[in-house]
Amino acid sequence: MIRPALRLCVLFVLALPAMTFSVLHAQSGPPRPIFLWPNGAPGALGNTPSDQPRMYALLPQKRSTSAAILVIPGGGYEHVALGHEGFQIASWLNQQGMAAFVLDYRVKPYHYPAEIDDGRRAMRLIRAHAAEYGIDPNRIGVWGSSAGGHLASSLGTHCEVDSEKLYAANSTDPVDKVSCKPDFMVLAYPVIGMQEPVTHTGSMINFLGPHPAPGLAHEYSNQFAVTPDTPPTFIFATTDDPVVPVENSLDFYRALVHAHVHAELHLFDYSDHGCGLCGSIIPLRVWPSLLRTWLIDHSYLPPDAPPAPAPEPNWPVWPKGFTGPGQPE
């Protein structure tokens, strides 16, 4: 059960006016979409905005680091929380001098492999154009929330499998020759498993589709795909998460520790899911500062980076004036 304080927070968030993105680009206006496949995505069902995965580059006015992060919002593989789990996180990173890229990927009625294809393509495009963005291609992380955490952790665990190597070897697109594996991961209340009883049922059904191949659910239960080469990972979750069982975070953390991967897990004795930076929830609003410390300790942010912005209420789930595959119906 969600506590009364959380209910009040949710009501307040829903009552917020539509955000403009002057916070992000006061002089250049809202970010423009970068279409992952300008000539049509593989497996596209049509040619509408819902069939056109895209990302947005959010570059800070003043850099403090050459590192960057691909931000993957959640939404149960049914929609994409582009606002508070996307642009708001990118703004938080930008204000500390780090570049960010926000992914709007295909969701229901799309299912595997569309979401994975979109995540891989976004990471490859960022890395292939790193020089143009002024970032280090060897210092690109991924930050995924909820179902976005499943997609993010899939990039960290499935980008060097044999089938992916074969695809890259046979492709004539030079972007496909670039690695899609992130250099580090941030997972916020993530979906990790695709099997009962730990999975989030909606994410599982939407991701796997009506007739999944045998073994696919186990293959993309990412706790079983961790190896010593899995990127360093920071995980945040609440112990009484009412939507995604905390066992997802625990299982992935245990797998990382067993594989001797650098990992840090922060669990809060609270009941919440989907709060993004959690600026309006006093017991949780400290978690971004723990992440900042982790980024500094791992040299992705310098110790003298500009301070993180003060906690603030969540932006709307979907920002006014934007269209895309993750737009809620």
The H or E element containing residue 255 is: helix 247-258
The pLDDT > 70 percentage for the chain reads: 91
Taking alpha carbons only, the member of 284, 250, 261, 318 closest to residue 49 is: 318
Decide if 50 is inside a domain. yes
**How does pLDDT run across 4-15, given as a tens digit for each residue?**
333 333 333 333
Decide if 150 is inside a domain. yes
Decide if 179 is inside a domain. yes
Mean pLDDT confidence for 185-207:
97
Q: Determine contact, residues 247/241, Cβ cutoff 8 Å.
A: no
The residue ranking higher by pLDDT, 14 or 141, is 141
Q: How far apart are the first and last CA of the chain?
A: 26
Mean pLDDT confidence for 76-95:
98
Print the domain residue range for 213.
Answer: 4-297
- Predicted local confidence at residue 166, as pLDDT: 75
Decide if 255 is inside a domain. yes
Decide if 322 is inside a domain. no
Q: How many domains does the chain have?
A: 1
Distance CA 205, CA 209 (A): 6
**CATH code for the domain of 46:** 3.40.50.1820
Distance of CA 159 to the CA centre of its chain: 16
Mean pLDDT confidence for 126-133:
98
Decide if 315 is inside a domain. no
Mean pLDDT confidence for 211-228:
97
- Predicted local confidence at residue 2, as pLDDT: 36
Decide if 231 is inside a domain. yes
Distance CA 125, CA 175 (A): 6
**How does pLDDT run across 22-56, given as a tens digit for each residue?**
444 433 678 999 999 999 999 999 999 999 999 99
Q: Determine contact, residues 191/243, Cβ cutoff 8 Å.
A: no
Decide if 319 is inside a domain. no
For residue 16, pLDDT beyond 90: no
For residue 81, pLDDT beyond 60: yes
- Predicted local confidence at residue 29, as pLDDT: 76
- Predicted local confidence at residue 165, as pLDDT: 74
- Counted residue by residue, the chain has a size of 329
Please tell me the pTM assigned to this model. Answer: 0.92
